[in-house]
A and B are shown apart, each in its own frame.
Chain A
């Protein structure tokens, strides 16, 4: 079975500060890892994904994440927060491309001016 843990259900950052969202997973097979963003009353939009290859993955809107197998982590970062980054972020894992996703509980990001 797979599981995902996101540390911190709410994160508050100042505009221009570093955004760091933590994600740890458990998987019995090499995982496929994803970060999605959700704006209020909307569906989920893919930020970035890790399947194979380079462990540092760059996504949209200036976000990136690093797959660390030894730490079973896939933390999401952005060097400088923007007001438009206020949203809820979900980390997810699957066993293979196109397989069902298991999501973490989500982290809601608040950006302060």
Chain B
């Protein structure tokens, strides 16, 4: 069966520090991969999606970037965090025939 792993679960980082969140999927190949952000009291905003290795689309201009170095690995990064980057980050995957499956999320607090 397919599983999705996302880590870390929680993270507290100072303003100006770098960020790296990792997501991996098991049990499927060539998935579509997604990064969403959920700010406090708000819905889910799609940040990035990827249909293949090194194929990344950005939905909104921001302080973040994404990379997909391997088929089932999706990384969310920042060189210098801002306070406004705080939120709950969710990774998800689909295989073009199903609904999206989500990881457990990373709670990022920028202080």
Contacts and interface: CB of A to CB of B under 8 A. Distances in A.
> Is the A/B pair a real complex?
yes
Interface of A: 9, 34, 36, 41-46, 49, 90, 97-106
B100 A105 contact: no
Interface of B: 6, 32, 34, 36, 41-44, 46, 49, 88, 90, 92, 94-105, 107
Nearest to A36: B102
A46 B99 CA distance: 8
25 contacts: A9-B41, A34-B100, A36-B102, A41-B88, A41-B107, A42-B104, A44-B90, A44-B100, A44-B102, A46-B100, A90-B43, A97-B97, A97-B98, A97-B99, A98-B94, A98-B95, A98-B96, A98-B98, A99-B32, A100-B32, A102-B46, A104-B43, A105-B43, A106-B42, A106-B44
Main secondary structure on chain A at its contact with chain B? Answer: loop
Given A34-B100, A44-B102, 5 more contacts: A46-B101, A97-B94, A98-B32, A99-B94, A103-B43
A100 B46 contact: yes
B109 to A, nearest CB: 12
Contacts of B103: 43
Nearest to B46: A100
Contacts of A46: 99-101
Contacts of B98: 97-98
Contacts of B102: 36, 43-45
